[in-house]
Amino acid sequence: MTNTVDQKTVDRILGGPGRSPRPAARTRARVAAPPRHLVLVAGRDLAHPRAGGSELLVDRLATGMADRGHSVTLLCGGPAARRTYRVVRSGGSLSQFALAPWVYRREIARCDVLVEVCNGLPYLVPLWFRGPAVCLVNHVHTALWPLRYPPPLSTIGRFTERVLLPRVHERNLFLTVSGSSAAALAGIGVAPDRIRLLRNGVEPPGPPAARSPSPLFLVLGRLADYKRVDLVLRMWERVRPVTGGELVIAGDGPAAGQLEHLAGEGVRFTGHVSEERKHRLLSAAWLLLHPALLEGWGLVVAEAGARATPTVGFDVPGLRDSVRDGRTGVLARTESEFASAWAALALNHRRREALGDAARALAARLRWTAAVDRFESVVEEAITRHGRTPG
């Protein structure tokens, strides 16, 4: 199966040519749903040291549903923290995929709908749960498998995601966060009429923090090979003589040591940062630099935008959705284009400010309440479509 789809398919997923996905609340008034017992099966809780955008999305959806009177349980691997919803541990990073069905039957037993959060390796929920189910996918991994996992796990993962996942969930709804991810799902065989879109929300920024008076450029996120932070370090050798200033790498991950070894002058590594420090860095930065190979959405782009910080990234899936090229940031097709855009924006205060203002206006439209509205409507649709007694 190929991972490419034609434009007509993309338009059909989005609801028409050139349209962006819209929250359900914009198309019709939201009707309060009856209280449901909802279970989400995910790899990690937000408290996990490796938690990122996917875990934040799951937490905000779970919290929002619990606040609306639904009973919510998160079944996840690894360490977990106390939440306003129930959290049940299902094993370690790999054992959870085998243990999840057993833990579900022992600790939960029944629910109205089960949401499988697939971040690569799937749980294949329909094989062990017969009730209504939804598959939440941030992005299809495709080229990431050999970068994230060694063989044979990468081969197994690619097969289960591309072949087993769409077949096992052939009657269920898929929920994803961007047009790029929706098109990728269609590319592995998911019927477009079973794909639903949900916009991520953005937390309102805290008290205003000062912009750095001198050039400060920020990379923020997990330090892993597929994030391609090494490209930024390589480009920095060309950009720094033109712009001056400092390059800050904020985050932690398996590639941290290698990246520190590659770094030249003017580079500062912060390690993991708190939410408060993240806010200060995003506010202080002149530009957010996002060199990743692909994303589901690129939540950090919207977080930067909420602080009027534009993004320079590559023209790749996910970033095409979160960055409006030429309006809220710049998308480059090559390293040379990236470095040129980086230097040009650093030297053009007026242009940088205009992009930042547009990015802030876009981020202001992204609210978690709308995301929960959409999620709740998809949950109800899944229950209605199933038309059977909950499992």
Indicate which CATH number applies to the domain containing 162. Answer: 3.40.50.2000
Q: Is residue 311 part of a domain?
A: yes
**Same domain (yes/no): 284, 378:** no
Q: Is the pLDDT of residue 134 over 90?
A: yes
Q: Is residue 208 part of a domain?
A: no
Q: Is the pLDDT of residue 17 over 50?
A: no
Q: Is residue 328 part of a domain?
A: yes
User: What is the count of structural domains for the chain?
Assistant: 2
**Same domain (yes/no): 120, 228:** no
Q: Is the pLDDT of residue 100 over 60?
A: yes
pLDDT band at 34 (very low <50, low <70, confident <90, very high): confident
**Same domain (yes/no): 268, 162:** no
**Same domain (yes/no): 143, 271:** no
Scan for tokens 């040591």, then name that residue. Answer: 257
Range 95-113 average pLDDT: 93
**Same domain (yes/no): 302, 350:** yes
**Same domain (yes/no): 298, 266:** yes
pLDDT band at 238 (very low <50, low <70, confident <90, very high): very high
pLDDT band at 157 (very low <50, low <70, confident <90, very high): confident
**Same domain (yes/no): 357, 371:** no
Least confident range from 43-47, 99-103, 366-370: namely: 43-47
Q: Is residue 227 part of a domain?
A: yes
Range 161-181 average pLDDT: 94
pLDDT given at position 16 = 45
Q: Tell me what percent of the residues of the chain surpass a pLDDT of 90.
A: 71
Structural domain harbouring 288? 216-363
pLDDT given at position 306 = 97
**Same domain (yes/no): 150, 11:** yes
Please state, in angstroms and rounded to a whole number, the distance separating the CA atoms of residues 54 and 254.
18
**Same domain (yes/no): 43, 123:** yes
